[in-house]
Amino acid sequence: MTVSVLVPSYRRPKDLVKCLEGILAGTRKPDEIVVVLRDIDTDSRQAFDEWVRGRDLDAEGIDLQRPIADRPGQIVAMNCGLSAATSDIVCFLDDDCVPWCNWLERVLRHYEDETVGGVGGRDVVHENGEILVGRVDAVGKITPWGRVIGNHHLDLLEGAVEADHLKGANMSFRRALMKPFDENMSGGSSCLNDTDASLHVTSQGYRLIYDPVAAVDHYPAARFDASTREKTDANLVYSDSHNWTYCLFKYLGPVQRWVFLAYALLVGGGTRYGLIKWLLALPESPSDVTRQLWASTRGKLAGVRTLRRARRRKEV
């Protein structure tokens, strides 16, 4: 079983080098490393070239692919890398992550089960010198009414478990089960593209495994282009709500879609405000939460329209 590690990167040269050093420090080296850089990102390309010159990847038996993305957006970069990857398993890492030494070895162990189509692990988030901690009993779940539960960065009360979706900072899939990432997902970071890829794999009858021991250290870095880490930013709320609706509508049955849409518009989740969540938050900051409700509602309805257009064009 061969494995590629795919790292898209943009304007984070120091983080990229740390990520690559972590990959090569593992007990199981990848057969191929795919690094995707933007054509305009000269600093990262220079740092990457210097790193390559300082390593003898051929002697380590590692192939190197270096496709260049000529358009902005994470999905564009990931599709460039996916088209270049040649291995049986493709692992996706954010460039601001550093894998633990047994990360790849642990991931590949689960693929010995032929019913497993994807494997992900914990991303241990470091913020301001501290690790975000918490213990949970559910990771990577989607409820029947469409609530998406993440928690991939927290401690799980048990070992490896079956999941409904994986997190893009630390996920992998069998290459034969994948299709290109859906460019109808909006926003610079294309929120929920990892959920969309996960549901595509499970829709083919395969299982996803979340293993908290297959971990990476995640040092969230600044984002550029249209993306942001400010969760209440109106553009992010819109794209997040759009992608949430678009993604789940794509895979839910006819009745489930109506249940989900009612939940999304009336209750909502996170910053994707529904009417009830808006009413509860209204006394705190009326103008801010009203803007969030408006952006979220527009995004959800736009997600339904996007799916209709995509199906008319036979894109999905």
Q: Are residues 195 and 238 in the same domain?
A: no
Of 163, 194, 218, which one is at a domain's C-terminal end?
A: 218
Rounded distance between C-alpha atoms, residue 34 and residue 91, angstroms:
10
Give Cα 135 to chain centroid, integer Å.
21
Q: What is the pLDDT of residue 230?
A: 66
pLDDT in 10s for each residue of the chain, 316 residues: 999 999 999 999 999 999 999 999 999 999 999 999 999 999 999 999 999 999 999 999 999 999 999 999 999 999 999 999 999 999 999 999 999 999 999 999 999 999 999 999 999 999 999 999 998 999 999 999 999 999 999 988 888 999 999 999 999 999 999 999 999 997 756 889 999 999 999 999 999 999 999 999 999 998 876 555 566 788 899 999 999 999 999 999 999 999 999 999 999 988 899 999 999 999 989 999 999 999 999 999 999 999 999 999 999 8
Q: Are residues 88 and 27 in the same domain?
A: yes
Domain assignment present for residue 253? The answer is: yes
Q: Are residues 274 and 174 in the same domain?
A: no
Domain assignment present for residue 40? The answer is: yes
Q: What is the pLDDT of residue 226?
A: 57
Q: How many domains does the chain have?
A: 2
Q: What is the pLDDT of residue 240?
A: 93
Rounded distance between C-alpha atoms, residue 118 and residue 116, angstroms:
6
Domain assignment present for residue 78? The answer is: yes
Domain assignment present for residue 37? The answer is: yes
Q: Are residues 121 and 36 in the same domain?
A: yes
Q: Are residues 90 and 210 in the same domain?
A: yes
Residue span of the structural domain in which 252 resides:
234-312
Domain assignment present for residue 75? The answer is: yes
Q: Using alpha carbons, list the distances in angstroms from residue 73 to 53, 102, 145, 164, 296.
A: 28, 30, 30, 25, 21
Q: Are residues 199 and 290 in the same domain?
A: no
Q: What CATH number is given to the structural domain containing 160?
A: 3.90.550.10
Q: Are residues 150 and 45 in the same domain?
A: yes
Domain assignment present for residue 133? The answer is: yes
What predicted TM-score, i.e. pTM, was given to this entire model? 0.94
Q: Are residues 205 and 248 in the same domain?
A: no
Rounded distance between C-alpha atoms, residue 24 and residue 175, angstroms:
22
Domain assignment present for residue 224? The answer is: no
Contacts of 306 (CB under 8 A, 6+ apart): 184, 186, 242, 246
Rounded distance between C-alpha atoms, residue 47 and residue 49, angstroms:
6
Q: Are residues 71 and 161 in the same domain?
A: yes
Overall size of the chain counted in residues: 316
Q: Are residues 244 and 207 in the same domain?
A: no
Q: Are residues 49 and 132 in the same domain?
A: yes
Question: For residue 65, what is the enclosing H or E element?
Answer: strand 63-65
Q: Are residues 127 and 53 in the same domain?
A: yes
